[in-house]
Amino acid sequence: MTPRTASSLSRRAWLRSAGLVGATLPILTRTFAQDAIIVENVAGAATPITLSGYSGEASETLRFDLEVAGCRVVGDSEAQYTLTGGMNGGLEGRLATKAGSSLFGKVYTKGTLRQQAHALADDVIKALGGQGVARTRIAFKSELGAGHSEIYVADYDGHSAQAITSDNAIVAAPAWVPGRLAVLYTSYRLGNPDIFVHDLGSGSRRPFSRRAGLNTSAAISPDGS
Could you report the per-residue pLDDT of 210-225, keeping only the tens digit for each? 999 999 999 999 888 8
pLDDT for 110 equals: 94
Could you report the per-residue pLDDT of 20-68, keeping only the tens digit for each? 333 333 333 333 333 333 333 344 579 999 999 999 999 999 999 999 9
Could you report the per-residue pLDDT of 132-169, keeping only the tens digit for each? 999 999 999 999 988 899 999 999 999 999 999 999 99
pLDDT for 91 equals: 96
Whole-angstrom Cα distance, residue 128 to residue 73? 14
> Distances in Å between the alpha carbon of 157 and those of 4, 72, 121, 175?
8, 18, 13, 18
Least confident of 11-25, 36-50, 171-185: 11-25
Under 8 Å CB-to-CB from 5, ≥6 apart: which residues? 157, 158, 159, 161
Q: What is the pLDDT of the chain when averaged over all its residues?
A: 83
Taking CB atoms within 8 Å and a gap of at least 24, the contacts of 149-153 are 151/183, 151/185, 151/198, 152/3, 153/183, 153/200
